[in-house]
Amino acid sequence: MERLILFVFQNRAFFTFLVLELFCAWLIVENNAYQGSKFFNSSNGVVATMNAFSQSVRDYFMLSEVNRTLAEENALLKKKVTQQRGQLFPPQSVITDSSFVNQYDFVSAKVVNNHVDMMKNFITIDKGRDAGVEAGMAVISPLGVVGKVKLVSEHYGVVTSILHVDVMVSGVLKRTEHFGTIRWDGVNPDLVDFKYIPPHVHPVVGDTVNTSGYNAIFPDGVMIGVIDQVELKKDALFYDIKVRLSQDFRKLSFVTIVKNHRHVEQDSLEQVIQKLER
């Protein structure tokens, strides 16, 4: 025993090295899990405040871009409002169901930290628990899908970006209404893979890909991007499709968090079915 202790003491540098590395490896693995580590992340107050300061400097260089997007979105919304007005007041056919109208709530947030060059990218936003944001909510921007809230602190939140190699989003080919899965391959932050589209479908370059609304997180019909490359290898079961994201993630500056009031309901219903099937 004494010799063992002596041995450990003599090699204390090596053993400290081993312990610290194992601790770090545990942290890395823990962080990869869905909920992630609670403490050492950028929703921490001090870190987030400093990131917010750094982002406020960067914002000045993006002002014109942000203005343009906002103006475009305004125009689009105005168009939609006029269209809806036409539909809402046809003679006596309106059914006003409050649960239908208020399925989604939207909270606007500012991006305080953003990465696109890692394999697993996260975005920090300046809305947290006090604004009603919870883990698992969808995050979109005026131009397209952004990601999913991973964890929240009191005033800040961390969002798992679509540019994260483990994130999968259900997408639908708008023209033909075929479903597939969107997943990033970790290389180019402009392009994501659109998987599991069978060969009898004929996607063409320029087709729009939207969210499908099948996973109860994203509302359906939020734009993801436009098909950039289509390839069907010989004897392959599915197409290799690259989709160009409609939101340039390097220019992300304001996002919208989507609260689905019926998320829990839909999820619990689907789980009941899954249990029955088993």
- Find the binder of another protein among 6, 8, 34, 40 (CB under 8 A): 40
What's the alpha-carbon Rg for the chain, to the nearest Å? Answer: 23
Q: Which is nearer to another protein, 31 or 215 (CB)?
A: 31
Q: Report if residue 16 touches another protein, rule: CB under 8 A.
A: yes
The answer to whether 157 and 130 have CB atoms below 8 angstroms apart is: no
Q: Report if residue 51 touches another protein, rule: CB under 8 A.
A: yes
Q: Report if residue 257 touches another protein, rule: CB under 8 A.
A: no
Q: What is the C-alpha separation between 212 and 182, in angstroms, rounded?
A: 11
Asked whether the CA dihedral 156, 129, 252, 161 is positive or negative, the reply is positive
What is residue 260's three-state secondary structure? strand
Q: What is the C-alpha separation between 181 and 110, in angstroms, rounded?
A: 28
Q: Report if residue 197 touches another protein, rule: CB under 8 A.
A: no
Total binding residues toward another protein, as defined by CB under 8 A: 43
Q: Least distance in Å: CB of 57 to another protein?
A: 9
Which window, 47-55, 130-138, 200-208, 256-264, contacts another protein (CB under 8 A)? 47-55
Q: Report if residue 7 touches another protein, rule: CB under 8 A.
A: no
- Residues between 98 and 127 that touch another protein (CB under 8 A): 113, 115-120, 122, 124
Which window, 26-34, 88-96, 215-223, 270-278, contacts another protein (CB under 8 A)? 26-34
Q: What is the C-alpha separation between 242 and 225, in angstroms, rounded?
A: 10
Please report where in the chains the tokens 């689009």 appear, as a residue: 76
Draw the binding track, 211-250, toward another protein (x: CB under 8 A; -: no contact).
Answer: ----------------------------------------
Which residues neighbour 119 within 8 Å (Cβ) at sequence distance 6 or greater? Answer: 164, 165, 186
Give the max Cα distance, the chain: 93
The answer to whether 128 and 155 have CB atoms below 8 angstroms apart is: yes
Q: Report if residue 157 touches another protein, rule: CB under 8 A.
A: no
Residue type, 50: M
Residue type, 140: I
Q: Least distance in Å: CB of 197 to another protein?
A: 23
Binding site for another protein (CB under 8 A): 12-14, 16-17, 20-21, 23-28, 30-32, 36-37, 40-42, 44, 47, 50-51, 53-54, 58, 113, 115-120, 122, 124, 158, 165, 186-189
